[in-house]
């Protein structure tokens, strides 16, 4: 399976990063979103991040210009369909993802491979709602995509070997490293990471430590580059809660019960960096703990 053209659905935090790395690797990219404003913001951010790579001498101005020229944007899913590979990077809600794949179906080439960047939703279940479950995989990038080296490859129960091998080759062409995971809730990274973040929120909720002391303890005591509460803010507390709910519902184990404080922050709209407030307040020059 030769893959040279890529359609990406969703121009948010993950979608723009995925478009960035594919364009740099030489793929022709069609980036789609329902919002033209989101598409304009995504291209501006890609431009800014590429400029940073030029400043660090990771690429030349000519490389940057060529990468940007490979990215085309659209608000029409019909323009996304006729690509070799499609990566769905929409919000972490299964009904939305299913609707996207249903809307794409009439526009797909017979050989098009479908993938989802979902961080926790069943690949088998998503694939079963398409006309090509054998050519469907989980393709989970880490955030921020241009920086993080890992891509989780998740095979659904129907995924065939040529599709898996094609995705292995794509990851290699991107210059990243793949980790193969079975299709169980949370896969590998979030199955381990999210309960740690959730436990940090419980530690705060129960008054064992403050935001500052919890994050400092993991940075200095466990050599983590970022504290778990700061990381939760970076990921988005709504995303963390959604993944914990998938783990709790899918594995039926009380150890995955989302902390009530995490739920409360999401209910308040305190979702982390993207809203300016989560476990830290980001409105000033330096983030300030909110508890």
Q: Which residues are catalytic?
A: 119, 140, 152, 190
- Residue 200, marked binder: no
The Cα–Cα gap between 39 and 120 comes to: 25
Q: Is 149 annotated as a binding residue?
A: no
- Report whether 48 belongs to an annotated binding site: no
Whether residue 1 is annotated as binding a ligand: the answer is no
For residue 97, say whether it is annotated as part of any ligand binding site.
yes
With the CA atoms of 116, 117, 120 and 123 taken in that order, what torsion angle do they form, in degrees rounded to the nearest 10?
A: 20
Q: How far apart are CA 265 and CA 259, in angstroms?
A: 10
Tell whether residue 83 is among the known ligand binding residues: no
Which of 127, 36, 44 has the alpha carbon at shortest distance from 88?
Answer: 127
Largest CA distance in the chain: 56
Peptide bond into 144 cis (omega under 30): yes
- The answer to the question of whether 33 is labelled as a binding residue is yes
109 is in an annotated binding site: no
**Is 84 known as a binding-site position?**
no
Q: Distances from the Cα of 276 to the Cαs of 112, 261, 265, 288, in angstroms?
A: 39, 18, 13, 11
Binding residues for NAD(+): 10-15, 33, 92, 97, 119, 143, 274
Binding residues: 10-15, 33, 92, 97, 119, 143, 274
């Amino acid at each position: 399976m030769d893959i040279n053209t890529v359609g990406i659905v969703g121009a948010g935090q993950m979608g723009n990063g995925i478009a960035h790395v594919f364009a740099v690797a030489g793929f022709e990219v069609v980036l789609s979103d329902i919002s033209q404003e989101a598409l304009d913001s995504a291209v501006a951010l890609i431009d800014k991040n590429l400029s940073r790579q030029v400043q660090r001498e990771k690429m030349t101005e000519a490389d940057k210009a060529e990468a940007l020229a490979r990215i085309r944007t659209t608000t029409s899913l019909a323009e996304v369909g006729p690509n070799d590979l499609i990566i769905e990077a929409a919000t972490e809600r299964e009904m939305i993802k299913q609707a996207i794949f249903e809307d794409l179906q009439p526009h797909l080439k017979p050989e098009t491979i479908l993938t989802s960047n979902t961080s926790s939703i069943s690949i088998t279940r998503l694939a079963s709602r398409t006309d090509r479950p054998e050519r469907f995989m989980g393709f989970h990038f880490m955030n921020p995509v241009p920086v993080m080296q890992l891509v989780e490859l998740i095979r659904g129960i129907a995924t065939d070997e040529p599709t898996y091998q094609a995705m292995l080759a794509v990851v290699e062409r991107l210059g990243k490293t793949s980790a193969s995971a079975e299709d169980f809730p949370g896969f590998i990274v979030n199955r381990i990471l999210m309960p740690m973040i959730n436990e940090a929120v419980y530690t705060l909720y129960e008054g064992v430590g403050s935001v500052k002391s919890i994050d400092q303890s993991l940075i200095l005591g466990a050599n983590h580059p970022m504290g778990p509460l700061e990381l939760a803010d970076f990921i988005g507390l709504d995303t963390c809660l959604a993944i914990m709910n998938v783990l709790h519902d899918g594995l039926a184990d009380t150890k995955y019960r989302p902390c009530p404080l995490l739920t409360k922050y999401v209910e308040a709209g305190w979702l982390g960096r993207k809203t300016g407030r989560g476990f830290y307040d980001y409105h000033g020059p330096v983030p300030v703990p909110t508890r």
